[in-house]
Structure 1
Amino acid sequence: MSGWTVTGLSWRDGTPRLTATDRQREHAREITPGMRIGWTVAGPRRCTGVRGSGRPRGCPYRELVAPEGRSSQCETCQRADPGLALARDRILDDGRSYRLYLAWFGPGLLKVGLTGEHRGTARLLDQAAPVFTFVGRGRLPAVRRAELTVAQAGLARERVPGSVKSAAWWGLPEVADRRHELARLRAEVLRLLADHGIELIPDGPLVDRTALLGLADGPPPAYRRITGLGPGATLAGTLRPAIGSHLFIDPAEGGPLLLDTRLLAGWGLAAGEVGGCSGLDLQACVRPTGPDTTQDALF
């Protein structure tokens, strides 16, 4: 991927792929557990353009974006991005079919959302949902109303912050317990949405992707989260399974590192032999010592 600009990590057909572009072509590299990487970051950081279900469009102005943070789009491209427009309720009806989903991220962490039917389960994997199910389908206005109805009834949240998700990784219960909690929510939601104007999916499977995300045994008991990087920074080591947009890297020394790949978006990335990790801002994260202990160091 030498000389390319990173656009992000996304799931396609159940597989995580790191994508990059040279403005003429897009390159996608499959990310697999056990893969060894040696990356050097190059700048400046530029807008990654417009993301959507079709072919990505590069920023026509090649705008510079802030070197820190997870946002890699300039204001112009943000306004043109269909995904952001959908999230901000600026699209009323695009003629497509959408599905209403319920996702479980940990005990009591239940989310309701919608995704384009053409995307399959990609959005749930992008969000690193350990368990999920689909409960309805229909045109966007009806599915959005159903989403709001479930959220306003207090059955599930519309958003679960990344810090809350990752703090729950250390305490995921057994398979039967997590499936039971989601099944109970599904039953309540189906009762609530009867005659609500969408086609219900009463027998949608409860899909458990905990093992695929590498969370069957939880995350490492201690690791360092990468909070910043810039030109000249290096990343080297062995990858664990991708968790949504996040990668655990086991370097030769110093213990595991957690990388939110959105920090890489917009930077140039050169692949090659790298001796170790350097030029990174790091924050220590450790397993909570008890059930009532909160963890503020994550995300």
Structure 2
Amino acid sequence: MAQAWRCSGLRWSADGPVLAWVGGRRSALSWGKRVAFGVAEGGVRTCVGARGHACPLGAAVPGRSTGARCEECARLNRAHSVAADTIADDPRPYHVYLAWFGPGMAKVGITAVERGTARLLEQGAVCFSWLGSGPLMAARRTEELLRAALGVPDRIPYTHKRAVRAVLPVTEAERAAELGELHARAVSLGNWPESLRPEPFRAVDHARVFGLAGPPGGPAAVGEVAELVAGGAVSGALVAAAGPDLHLATERGVLVLDTRLMTGWELLPAGGDRCDVPVRAFREAAGVQDGLF
């Protein structure tokens, strides 16, 4: 019987996207590489645990959950989290950033300076610029100030990010234009914490890193995998990737696979071109992907 694998998520290295597996093994991904796996008949998706510890109950979790954690493990995982605002004494310096995902879609956020651009790659930011750096609480206060004054959110659902990838502006200058305007407005605001050091606008573009720098938005996706199911399989050639998403050219067209849906399952090698898992189709209106059926 083929060995079963457990995925621990998509990581971003200097060379591009990498699938990580429980136990430490990694699979580097490149454009055109075939990604193929299946779920055994009778397979059950189980909780991945919290903060490096296995779920004590081995609880079953829904196929459509991107967290792959039971309620208790999800609570424990967020009990010591900067993103959840549950810690305030982290001594590390933090960056405040503006990230852009597509026309009319930008957000403000913070990330530890030592992490570099990793957080932006993980979020699927098509381009971004630093705004400033300083202590955690100063960065958090600046983030709140910009949210209120500029009306930009600190979170954007991945379904919205996917919907605009097919209509990205062609050039880096066009992609950076909206971000530059937001940066200028942010810098002009008063009441920034004194301990936060402002940084000039320097747009960093990830479109080529993500494989989205060809035709506008790269190869247009027709839908996204809704969930994995026992006995189902996914097979396709990698044409783009952004954040946790793989864009795969399958027998059903280009589909977006959120690799967070792979966690918690025991996965097996699969042959052929099967892609028989539930899919949500993208609806196109006036040439713009603006929602889901």
**TM exceeds 0.5?**
yes
Contact 2:48 2:264 in 1 (8 A): yes
Contact 2:235 2:273 in 1 (8 A): yes
| Matches of 2:6 and 2:48, distance apart in 1 | 8
Is there any run of 5+ residues in structure 2 with no aligned partner, and where? none
Contact 2:135 2:196 in 1 (8 A): no
- Distance of aligned partners of 1:277 and 1:16 in 2 relative to their CA distance in 1, 3 Å threshold: same
- Distance of aligned partners of 1:167 and 1:257 in 2 relative to their CA distance in 1, 3 Å threshold: closer
Contact 1:146 1:193 in 2 (8 A): no
Cα drift, residue 204 of structure 1: 5.1
Cα drift, residue 2 of structure 1: 4.1
| Matches of 1:234 and 1:175, distance apart in 2 | 37
Letter in 1 for 2:291: D
| Matches of 1:267 and 1:245, distance apart in 2 | 17
What SS does the corresponding residue of 2:143 show, helix, strand or coil? helix
Q: Which residue number corresponds to residue 18 of structure 1?
A: 19
Letter in 1 for 2:281: A
1:53-92 mapped onto 2 (5 Å cutoff): 56-81=52-77, 85-92=81-88
Instruction: Indicate yes or no: 2:238 matched with 1:239.
Output: yes
1:244-283 mapped onto 2 (5 Å cutoff): 244-251=243-250, 253-272=251-270, 274-283=271-280
Contact 2:98 2:129 in 1 (8 A): yes
Contact 2:283 2:289 in 1 (8 A): no
| Matches of 1:219 and 1:297, distance apart in 2 | 19
Between the two proteins, the alignment pairs up a number of residues equal to: 287
| Matches of 1:231 and 1:64, distance apart in 2 | 13
- Distance of aligned partners of 1:84 and 1:284 in 2 relative to their CA distance in 1, 3 Å threshold: farther
| Matches of 1:18 and 1:105, distance apart in 2 | 23
What SS does the corresponding residue of 2:37 show, helix, strand or coil? strand
| Matches of 1:83 and 1:243, distance apart in 2 | 28
| Matches of 2:272 and 2:144, distance apart in 1 | 50
What SS does the corresponding residue of 1:143 show, helix, strand or coil? helix
Q: Which moved more, 1:123-132 or 1:170-179?
A: 170-179
| Matches of 2:11 and 2:25, distance apart in 1 | 12
Letter in 1 for 2:282: C
| Matches of 1:34 and 1:155, distance apart in 2 | 40
Q: Which residue number corresponds to residue 295 of structure 1?
A: 290
Q: Which residue number corresponds to residue 206 of structure 2?
A: 209
Contact 1:15 1:31 in 2 (8 A): yes
Q: Structure 1, residues 28-72: CA drift from partner, whole Å, max 9, x if none? A: 222221111221124321222235xxxx44434433222332121
Contact 1:190 1:200 in 2 (8 A): no
- Distance of aligned partners of 1:129 and 1:26 in 2 relative to their CA distance in 1, 3 Å threshold: same
Contact 2:79 2:86 in 1 (8 A): no
Contact 1:221 1:286 in 2 (8 A): no
| Matches of 2:115 and 2:207, distance apart in 1 | 20
Percentage of pairs with the same residue? 35
Cα drift, residue 151 of structure 1: 0.2
What SS does the corresponding residue of 2:280 show, helix, strand or coil? strand
1:97-116 mapped onto 2 (5 Å cutoff): 97-116=93-112
Q: Which residue number corresponds to residue 183 of structure 2?
A: 186
Is there any run of 5+ residues in structure 1 with no aligned partner, and where? none
Contact 1:78 1:84 in 2 (8 A): no
Q: Which residue number corresponds to residue 49 of structure 1?
A: 49
- Distance of aligned partners of 1:160 and 1:84 in 2 relative to their CA distance in 1, 3 Å threshold: farther
Cα drift, residue 84 of structure 1: 7.2
Letter in 2 for 1:245: P
Cα drift, residue 247 of structure 1: 0.9
